[in-house]
Amino acid sequence: MLKHFLLNILLTFVWVALTGQLNYVNFFFGGIMGFFILWLLARNSPKKEKEYFYRVPKILSFICYFFIDMLKANWEVAKDVITPNYHTTPGIIKYHMEAKTDFEITMLTNIIALTPGTMVIDIADDKSYVYIHTMYLKDKERFINRLRERTEKKLLAILR
C-alpha cells in the first residue's frame, strides 16, 4: 500500500512538472490521474496489492462525512450561543467501543473530541469503553447508534 501511495505522489509531481502550473487544482487533478493510472496497472494484481485502491475512496468518504458532521455540530453550537435561550441537554454516556488497539482508540477519541459539543472524559483501564460528554443528548440510544454506525465503523474500515 505504501508503494502505491508513494508512486501516486510521484506521478502527481510528474504531472505538475509536465504542465508547468503549480496550483491546487493541478495537484488535485494530478493526484486523481496518478490514482487511475496506478489502478489500471494493478487491475490484474493479487487482492493484497489492490488494498490501496479500496482504502483511498473510504478515506475520502470519511473525510467528507466528518467535515459535514463537523459543520452541522458547529452550526448547532453557534446557533445555541447566539440565541438568547440555551437549548442544551447535556449528558454523559458510557460508550462500548469496537476499537481495540491503542491507535484505533486514539483516532476514535480524537474524532469524537474534534466534533463541537462532544468531549471524551475517560477511557476505561481495559480499553473497552469510554465516557463521552455531549451538549445535546436528546436520545441516548440514537446518539450511540449514530456514533457506532456512522463514525466508528467507517473509521475502523479505514484502519483495519
Q: 134: helix, coil or strand? A: strand
Interval 5-27: pLDDT, tens: 999 999 999 999 999 998 999 99
pLDDT given at position 46: 87
* Per-residue model confidence as pLDDT tens digits over 78-136: 998 898 888 889 999 999 999 999 999 999 999 999 988 899 999 999 999 999 999 99
d(CA 69, CA 66): 5
pLDDT of residue 68: 94
DSSP string over 69-83: HHHHHHHHHHHHHHS
